[in-house]
Structure 1
């Protein structure tokens, strides 16, 4: 049984990750800092180390030297992506952004352990080969593996076929679909099945970065390029050099930044803000949007030339309401996860809950389904989850017991229940932030909620609550 060391100072995250790994047949030890790990364990004796980048005292990258060849997987928040890429240059085997999807973490752990075992079993000459050479063989194997997305309906099977065809190429891909359908999972599958799988996948939510900072974040800047630029800084496009850049919600990208992005696609080069020199980059671009870019281009809100550059390969993700029986399969997986986190292995869906899940329209798609099940698990007092606990507005009396082939009903409503006084923790968080973010800074919001600003940002990302782009209440 592989033995994994978790080094993470946030107790909740450390405990949840430990339970996740132990449920999947891994032996797990844990520590809250590099110093504690040194004092308690022989670090090179583990099969894998999973560590947060930012820790009390020494950073997680210190474990790379201490591990003496044992692979180190770095966890980091979105705001520290550049530092995570730097850690890979220092020898980390990979990084994963928090908050991470459970499947994403398990896939990363399984892949790293498999590669380590293959490396240990390989002849000495092959172990000495450059990583890029070994990567070619691994990518060929990965192409036969699972896509990593749940669902078996006809539309998803067609999508999987396209992913397998497109992934080995360097073609730009535009992933289209409603919010919450899993567009980033498609981007990750395209990257993992490509020849770039060993290089970074940098994911950027264009809607989450203030408009005034987007160009600097993406393309970097030189010292003195603007007020506060006390040193030169590489951008996320540079960080993705050799790998894949995933731009989520690309329809929110300002026109000026679109022009710079077009240069990357046309010339394969970037110019930092404030610089007169260009530099070459080798980046594959995957973009995603829930908006109609062609219509935006017609009214001048999106560059038409960029649209045609992006739209080389277009992949369409179907909404959850069109995926038939997939919805209950996904719901059961979410229930298993949430119940395990809460120590409630006895939980199951009642018949009325399954009917509601199958027939509700799910306008928020997979994200809404996950939140509804988390809410139900928190509020459930017995062993059976009823339809009422899901908090969705649907009349069950008129529904037939038989499954509807389309997964929706004429009686379904796209509106959720109005908030009641019986709120889950996530409901409370969402309502509090929406109510107060216009007149409170991020620091004040975090203090009132009793969490760190980092945790506030991660929950915003998870629940799809963007920060205000302008306004006096937003602090940096």
Structure 2
């Protein structure tokens, strides 16, 4: 739950966005203008969401006026350049109207998660950007050692790991310890429609295609002087791969429809959960681009391989959730702790965070119990039969969960419960030979 300030001058749109945020358990204060927003001390909120084009002052002026509070800006289709400008000035993210409720929810969750993880829980904590992802497990320690070593250099970094393992957190830590003064610009390649991917990344000239009414900067331009983080880089089209390769080789970028290229100064960090060498063998990913990306490889282990980190992370998430709700510190009982250690966590750290936050919200008295966590029992209730002694493979768990719940949950809900994106869920269905059902359950 977070305190969110919403600034939108269109009454109907403002009401719908507020409804979505309230559904996600956030406390929302909504106003139609920057002037009214400033009377509410926006720096006291957890997040500000504002349209750029407002009556009176434009919404992006709030970026400089809210201190450390993150700002998500909203723009109409065709005005992405305004969002890029806002990100250069420090906006945390942007949404292009019209957007789906799921896009809004994910953007808010992502920004709030990053804000929470950047804020040390312990008042005596250091400024070490790796502190929140510190680990006792050897594979994770090796990953963080590599990240620290490569951070001050200009080397391209490729981060590998399952969904929810913390790839973007590591990328942000690398950027924070780099010598680059510019912005960290995250891009999820899987979330941008294929037809808009090149334009969003590299920008376009006026008239480059139908609907290109003005010249537009791309996200590459927003990252100039800083770091461009391309998450799920395995989803790039062949055309986008070619443009990216040219950018890495020539240190320049050409907008869609442009005759001349522009010089750029960007440090690239890429990430994926996919097997890029296999994609190269199948001709789906360029070999020359792969070798350009794979200068320094950092592999993040799944949570189930991180031993005592599971309980350590759970305690951090419980403490933060309790603090947000104004509750005293909470403990796990022995059975709950054992359940956390036995569970395979296919959604990794993200799923763990959701599980313990839900437990804190539902908690009434005493320590947090196994029942509050909602994890499986040995007979496979809740569709999560992944305890010791059973088929413990991730693929086996995914198969059982999807088959057990696909008739009662929508694709969006299935993906959310698994801690993965809808695109990843579709890919896993293809791999496991489980076709998507024809009809959807009622939302």
The answer to whether the aligner puts 1:238 opposite 2:205 as a matched pair is: no
Q: Structure 2: how far apart are the matches of 1:81 and 1:147?
A: 34
For the structure 1 residues 163 and 177, does the alpha-carbon distance in structure 2 shift closer, same or farther, using more than 3 Å as the test?
Answer: same
Match for residue 292 of structure 1 among 257, 264, 275: 275
Are the counterparts in 1 of residues 317 and 356 from structure 2 also a CA contact under 8 Å? yes
SS in 2 for 1:354: helix
Matched residues, number: 378
The answer to whether the aligner puts 1:465 opposite 2:422 as a matched pair is: yes
- Residue 83 of structure 1 deviates from its aligned partner by 3.8
The answer to whether the aligner puts 1:36 opposite 2:36 as a matched pair is: yes
Match for residue 49 of structure 2 among 48, 52, 55: 52
- Residue 155 of structure 1 deviates from its aligned partner by 2.2
Q: Structure 2: how far apart are the matches of 1:107 and 1:370?
A: 12
For the structure 1 residues 83 and 186, does the alpha-carbon distance in structure 2 shift closer, same or farther, using more than 3 Å as the test?
Answer: farther
Written as runs of structure 1 = structure 2, the 5 A alignment for 1:2-81 is 7-9=5-7, 32=31, 33-39=33-39, 51-54=48-51, 57=55, 58-63=57-62, 71=67, 74-76=70-72
Q: Structure 2: how far apart are the matches of 1:461 and 1:105?
A: 23
- Residue 184 of structure 1 deviates from its aligned partner by 0.5
- Residue 321 of structure 1 deviates from its aligned partner by 1.1
- Residue 465 of structure 1 deviates from its aligned partner by 3.1
Match for residue 350 of structure 1 among 333, 340, 361: 333
Are the counterparts in 2 of residues 63 and 72 from structure 1 also a CA contact under 8 Å? no
Tell me the residue number matched to 2:144. Answer: 160
Q: Structure 2: how far apart are the matches of 1:262 and 1:7?
A: 40
Q: Which blocks of at least 5 consecutive residues in structure 1 are unaligned?
A: 20-29, 111-140, 398-407, 438-458, 470-476
The answer to whether the aligner puts 1:105 opposite 2:115 as a matched pair is: yes
Tell me the residue number matched to 2:321. Answer: 338
The answer to whether the aligner puts 1:218 opposite 2:218 as a matched pair is: no
Are the counterparts in 2 of residues 225 and 273 from structure 1 also a CA contact under 8 Å? yes
CA RMSD of aligned residues (A): 4.3
Match for residue 96 of structure 1 among 84, 92, 96: 92
Are the counterparts in 1 of residues 227 and 269 from structure 2 also a CA contact under 8 Å? yes
SS in 2 for 1:348: coil
Tell me the residue number matched to 1:320. Answer: 303
After superposition, give the CA deviation of every residue in 1:240-292 in whole Å (9 maximum; x if it has no partner). Answer: 11111111111111111101110011001111111111111111110001111
Q: Structure 2: how far apart are the matches of 1:326 and 1:319?
A: 11
Are the counterparts in 2 of residues 327 and 357 from structure 1 also a CA contact under 8 Å? yes
SS in 1 for 2:371: helix
SS in 1 for 2:135: coil
- Residue 105 of structure 1 deviates from its aligned partner by 1.7
TM-score, normalising length: structure 2: 0.71
Tell me the residue number matched to 2:85. Answer: 86
Match for residue 205 of structure 1 among 184, 188, 211: 188
Are the counterparts in 2 of residues 207 and 252 from structure 1 also a CA contact under 8 Å? yes
Q: Structure 2: how far apart are the matches of 1:435 and 1:178?
A: 19
SS in 1 for 2:269: strand
The answer to whether the aligner puts 1:279 opposite 2:236 as a matched pair is: no
Tell me the residue number matched to 1:184. Answer: 168
Q: Structure 1: how far apart are the matches of 2:163 and 2:169?
A: 13
- Residue 103 of structure 1 deviates from its aligned partner by 6.2
Q: Which blocks of at least 5 consecutive residues in structure 2 are unaligned?
A: 8-16, 94-106, 121-125, 381-386, 428-443
Q: Structure 1: how far apart are the matches of 2:69 and 2:84?
A: 12
After superposition, give the CA deviation of every residue in 1:158-207 in whole Å (9 maximum; x if it has no partner). Answer: 222211110011110000011111101111011111011x3111111111
Are the counterparts in 1 of residues 194 and 237 from structure 2 also a CA contact under 8 Å? yes
Are the counterparts in 1 of residues 70 and 111 from structure 2 also a CA contact under 8 Å? no
Are the counterparts in 1 of residues 164 and 420 from structure 2 also a CA contact under 8 Å? no
Are the counterparts in 2 of residues 176 and 316 from structure 1 also a CA contact under 8 Å? yes
Q: Structure 1: how far apart are the matches of 2:358 and 2:117?
A: 26
After superposition, give the CA deviation of every residue in 1:210-233 in whole Å (9 maximum; x if it has no partner). Answer: 111111111111111111111111
Match for residue 256 of structure 1 among 239, 243, 252: 239
Q: Structure 2: how far apart are the matches of 1:64 and 1:305?
A: 40
- Residue 392 of structure 1 deviates from its aligned partner by 3.1
For the structure 1 residues 281 and 193, does the alpha-carbon distance in structure 2 shift closer, same or farther, using more than 3 Å as the test?
Answer: same
For the structure 1 residues 145 and 316, does the alpha-carbon distance in structure 2 shift closer, same or farther, using more than 3 Å as the test?
Answer: closer
For the structure 1 residues 466 and 76, does the alpha-carbon distance in structure 2 shift closer, same or farther, using more than 3 Å as the test?
Answer: farther
SS in 1 for 2:409: helix
For the structure 1 residues 81 and 321, does the alpha-carbon distance in structure 2 shift closer, same or farther, using more than 3 Å as the test?
Answer: farther
Are the counterparts in 2 of residues 48 and 72 from structure 1 also a CA contact under 8 Å? no
Tell me the residue number matched to 1:372. Answer: 355
Q: Structure 2: how far apart are the matches of 1:16 and 1:337?
A: 16
For the structure 1 residues 239 and 54, does the alpha-carbon distance in structure 2 shift closer, same or farther, using more than 3 Å as the test?
Answer: same
Q: Structure 2: how far apart are the matches of 1:372 and 1:50?
A: 23
TM-score, normalising length: structure 1: 0.67
Q: Structure 2: how far apart are the matches of 1:361 and 1:72?
A: 36
For the structure 1 residues 50 and 60, does the alpha-carbon distance in structure 2 shift closer, same or farther, using more than 3 Å as the test?
Answer: farther
